[in-house]
Homo-oligomer: A and B are copies of this chain.
Amino acid sequence: MTTIREVAKRADVSAMTVSRVLNNSAHISRKARQRVEAAIAELGYVPNALARSLRFKQTNTLALVLTDITNPFFTTVARGVEDAASDAGFNVIFCNTDESEGEQRENLTALARKQVDGVLLVPARSTPEALVYLQERHIPVVILDRRIEHCSADAVRCDSEGGAYRLTRLLLDQGHRRIAILTGSENVSTAVDRVTGYRRALDEAGIAVDQSYSNYGEFTQASGEVMARQALRLSPPPTALFAANNFIAIGAYRALRAGGYQIPEQVSLVGFDDLPPALVMDPFLTVAAQPAYEMGQKATELLLARLADPAPAPPQELIMPTEIIVRQSSGPPVGHSATKPTIV
């Protein structure tokens, strides 16, 4: 490893002069500058950001802690984060927690040690420990995608409740009366909020909420399959399934196909989270789509703004709208013709 002093020796100046050349600070004589630049090139010198960070207490590194980068929603969020960070000269460390509080904790301590300037956190749980941990250590954080209970922090997420409400409303307007929801863990705010929105729509429509139509599981394809099968065994069976995330939707779709159900003729299927257009051959699923890329981008911009101006300011919550995209997987139930749909 070549250090600033070696460059200095080679250019026959002091280390300080080299430093000044590197940072364009103060005035340097033409000759000195040229010699320094030559030495840097010859030695392939690269300044050590560790030493720099140690002095300035700034690493120009952010962290993105999410549950699973493999979920295309988070992949897209990640891309938004990386682009925004990159534009500002920051790098991003990313960590998967797989919804595990243990992994989340391990990741956060490692990140704290590494002195990341800020954290974008998709909390594994809606409990506040993770957030508290970061706040106690004065590490700026933006909560992404999910809510945390009883606490205030900068946050960027979608209106899960509203999106679920509108999606349910769409089904109701098409004539469905028995709608089952397949959602994630009760510990995850998006899973819960989507049920809340779904129930509000049912309430408004004067439909008694049947608890057995609310299925809690995991945000995975396998869980979606299981929950769909369970829901279809109920009597009377639902005429529509509401999958609370993309993986669940795909699992439910598989279960429906395996069970020989026609979609949407026999059972309608709607989902939360769209799949990116580049990834899907036939857009088919009716969904509430979240602006994943923008969420990552905005969250990062918010975080960077906090770093730039650490003056205490009230926490900011950015709640982004979902977009209802109607496709072929939903339609009126057997024997019903759709009522005029509400604008969604």
Query: Which A positions have Cβ atoms within 8 angstroms of B?
Result: 1, 44, 46-51, 53-54, 57, 59, 61, 68-70, 72, 75-76, 78-79, 82-83, 86, 89, 91-96, 109-115, 136-138, 220-221, 247, 250, 253-254, 257, 275-282, 284-285
- Chain B residues lying within 8 Å of A59, measured Cβ to Cβ, are 50, 114
- Chain B residues lying within 8 Å of A281, measured Cβ to Cβ, are 250, 253-254, 284-285
**CB-nearest residue of chain B to A59:** B50
Number of copies: 2
- Chain B residues lying within 8 Å of A109, measured Cβ to Cβ, are 46
B115 touches A61 (CB 8 A): no
- Chain B residues lying within 8 Å of A137, measured Cβ to Cβ, are 44, 46
With contacts A1-B138, A68-B79, A72-B75 known, what are 9 further pairs, Cβ within 8 A?
A47-B113, A48-B113, A50-B54, A72-B279, A83-B96, A91-B95, A91-B111, A93-B93, A275-B279
Complex CA distance for A220 and B44, rounded to whole angstroms: 36
Return the contact of A48 from the options B78, B110, B115 (Cβ within 8 A).
B115
Complex CA distance for A171 and B51, rounded to whole angstroms: 58
A2 to chain B, nearest CB (A): 9
Complex CA distance for A202 and B50, rounded to whole angstroms: 54
- Given A136-B44, A250-B279, A284-B281 in contact, is the A79-B86 Cβ separation under 8 Å? no
A92 touches B91 (CB 8 A): no
Complex CA distance for A56 and B61, rounded to whole angstroms: 20
A91 touches B114 (CB 8 A): yes
Return the contact of A50 from the options B89, B92, B114, B275 (Cβ within 8 A).
B114
A153 to chain B, nearest CB (A): 18
